[in-house]
Amino acid sequence: MNGDPSTTADDGAVEAVIAKVRAVYGRWRRDTPVAQMRADWDQLFGATGDARFTPVQADGVPCAWIAAPGVREDRVIVYLHGGGFQVGSLQSHRELMGRLSAAAGVRVLGVDYRLAPEHRHPAPLEDALTVIRWLGQQGLPLSHIALAGDSAGGGLALATVLALQGLGDERPAAAFLMSAWTDLAATGESYETRKQADPIHQRPMIQAMARNFLGPQADARDPLASPLYADAAALGRLPPLLLQVGDRETVLSDSVEFAQRVNAAGGRAVCQAWPEMVHVFQQFPNELPQARAALAEGGLFLAAHLGGPSTGDIAP
């Protein structure tokens, strides 16, 4: 499924976004400290928006409540940020989470999970599961919780839902994934078909990030690291999914193939490939109307599955 065809791309705006990202990547060298990379990434996405931001400890995992004005508090979106498991934070994704809170009409709980190389797989998954358990202790059943995430965080959101299957029959209400990294083995055909179109991410870079996250012992095809490799029984039990991805991305196949496998297994997944868009374009809502439109669709999808009024036909 394609993204909103009525929202045409402004080539100048897209190129400006690409230039901003490249300016950050271009400063990094092999000896650049990871702390500097993280600070640079936070500065790239420095906008905060008007959503309330309240830090909280979820059984030892640092998190923050992000609530747009007037949202309901009896439903929650657990948000897992992207950044290749090495950069990204509650600060870098603060505006995106605030806009998602407004679009869905509920609070977002952003998770500041542990990062590599200090903490490799499965540390982020352990943190995400701890947060879900903590919400249960606050009286929130899984049916009142949705998950969302972008890039590495999108893959982590899916891995979290897969891991929850081993803990009981209940499942989260839904999951909204943006440019989800579902295959750390980087086998998708889009690494070839989109390598000229993608201005930032190429297979060697993706493979290097995967090695840094997995370490020497972990398997890149472990479903709890790469959800694409989950078996059909597990994929068929996933909650309703909405996946959005840019059509220019080398990781396009990570979303397209994942949705195909879920649907073939009897699950419900909608995949939107947004024309001319780049990796996690939703993180540039001030520059790209497509980002605003995509976040609005994601919010409506989550609201519908969290018990809000029906708001369109994208809910699978």
What amino acid positions are annotated as catalytic residues? 151
Amino acid at 52: R
What lies within 8 Å, CB to CB, of 7 at 6+ separation is 289, 290, 293
**Rounded distance between C-alpha atoms, residue 191 and residue 251, angstroms:** 7
**CA trace torsion 266, 267, 270, 273 (10° rounding):** -80
**Rounded distance between C-alpha atoms, residue 55 and residue 160, angstroms:** 22
**Rounded distance between C-alpha atoms, residue 134 and residue 137, angstroms:** 5
**Rounded distance between C-alpha atoms, residue 63 and residue 265, angstroms:** 34
**Rounded distance between C-alpha atoms, residue 287 and residue 69, angstroms:** 23
Decide: 139 and 117 in contact? Cβ < 8 Å.
Answer: no
Tokens of 143: 């049916």
The secondary structure of residue 119, as a DSSP letter, is S
Tokens of 151: 């890039």
